[in-house]
Amino acid sequence: MQYYGGGIEQSTMYRILTKSLWFLIHFFIGAIGVPIAAAVLAYSVLLPLHEFFPSIGERTVHWILTETPYFPLQILVGFLWGFLISRRYRHVAMLWTWAVPALAISLALLFAPLRPVIVSGVEITKVEHFFGWSCLPQNHCFEQVALTMPFYSATAYAVGAFLARNFPRSSATKLDDAVPQTAR
């Protein structure tokens, strides 16, 4: 038995490092990869429609991606990615991707001196900086894009992973997985 450091067995250290690495990978997929994929999806689907529907253009894509609170496209992509990736890999770390953005929002709510934003003659509250229709990029307020969007996409990723773990696979999928790779 080989020891590593202050009495920690080398295989234990290896497990800790691999689990930490899987968490970081899934965190980046859920919090950063999902918004990027949603943007690629929106641009690749909506911009070609401009030829047939002139009212759909780049401004529409920007509105869908950054100026619609609750970020529905990012939530949908995060949920689907979480569900599909969890079907394949089933890493427990996928269930905790929401924790880092939630911690960041909590710390910002408690300690960050947020600049005042006036919307319709009323200054918005700290909570409105992160949730709701008040703090949008059109009001020169970027807290939702910077912190809330990664929180929503990582949470949707974790919810998708959770549901994939708790819904059984169909019998056709189980049989397909049982066939060896060489036989396909």
More confident position, 170 or 3: 170
Percent of the chain residues past pLDDT 90, beyond the cut = 56
pLDDT band, very low/low/confident/very high, at 158 (cuts 50, 70, 90): very high
For the cut 60, the answer to whether the pLDDT of residue 173 exceeds it is no
Supply the pLDDT for residue 11: 87
What are 40-88's pLDDT values in tens digits?
Answer: 999 999 989 988 988 888 889 989 999 888 999 999 999 999 999 999 9
What is the reported pTM?
A: 0.83
SS3 for the chain, per residue? Answer: CCEECCCEEHHHHHHHHHHHHHHHHHHHHHHHHHHHHHHHHHHHHHHHHCCCCCCCCHHHHHHHHHCCCCCHHHHHHHHHHHHHHHHHHCCHHHHHCCHHHHHHHHHHHHHCCCCCCEECCEECCHHHHHCCCCCCHHHCCCHHHHHHHHHHHHHHHHHHHHHHHHCCCCHHHHHHHHCCHHHC
